[in-house]
Amino acid sequence: SSPRRKRPRRKVGEKLNSESSPCKKSPRKGGVDDKRNQYGETPLHAAAKKGDVNKVKELLSAGANPNVSCAAGWSPLHEVAMSAKSEALEILSLLLDHGASVDVLASGEKAVTPLQDAVLYGSKDVVRKLVGTGADIYLKNKEGKNALELAQESDTQGMFDLLCELKGIKSK
């Protein structure tokens, strides 16, 4: 099983609002993005994380923003990129079809892209889809490392060789 990132915790009683949180509000008041859990996640974040394809379709059809961030700065694409669920690829495609930004850096502590998450925690199919959609393998995270460097350091499931193959780079 892959290591999971820990979510930053708020203090008991600390309210989640736009002044104390990096969350982006939905442009429509009373929209599907206004409801949030204790981590600032929208229903779309939760459905993507759970692998609930039907709920993701329903929320996107109702106008959910595929680029909305939670309190930790992650988009629904980040959530699904690191998912090991069998539905991850279908949800990833739905999010991308509805305008999800493929090269968005999470605003949180690690500031990673969905591709960097997928390289470290996701599947080869998800990595293939993200790269095929134009994800930048050279975009650097907050620590100054790109997806290729992260893949080489961790060698998770042969991701380094996969990235080299997808981008026509000679490995080793």
DSSP string, the chain: ----PPPPPPPTT----TTTS-PPPPSSTTSTTS---TTS--HHHHHHHHT-HHHHHHHHHTT--TT---TTS--HHHHHHT--STTHHHHHHHHHHTT--TTPPPSSSS---HHHHHHHHS-HHHHHHHHHTT--TT---TTS--HHHHHHHH-GGGHHHHHHHHHTPPP-
**Can you give the pLDDT at residue 30?**
61
The answer to whether the beta carbons of residues 25 and 34 sit under 8 Å apart is: yes
Give tens-digit pLDDT for 67-118: 999 988 899 999 999 988 899 999 999 999 999 999 988 877 778 999 999 9
Give tens-digit pLDDT for 9-25: 444 444 444 333 344 44
- State how far the alpha carbon of 81 is from the alpha carbons of 11, 27, 37, 62, 110, in Å: 28, 25, 20, 23, 15
Q: How much is the average pLDDT of 26-38?
A: 73
**Can you give the pLDDT at residue 18?**
38
- Count the Cβ atoms, other than its own, within 10 Å of residue 29: 7
**Can you give the pLDDT at residue 110?**
74
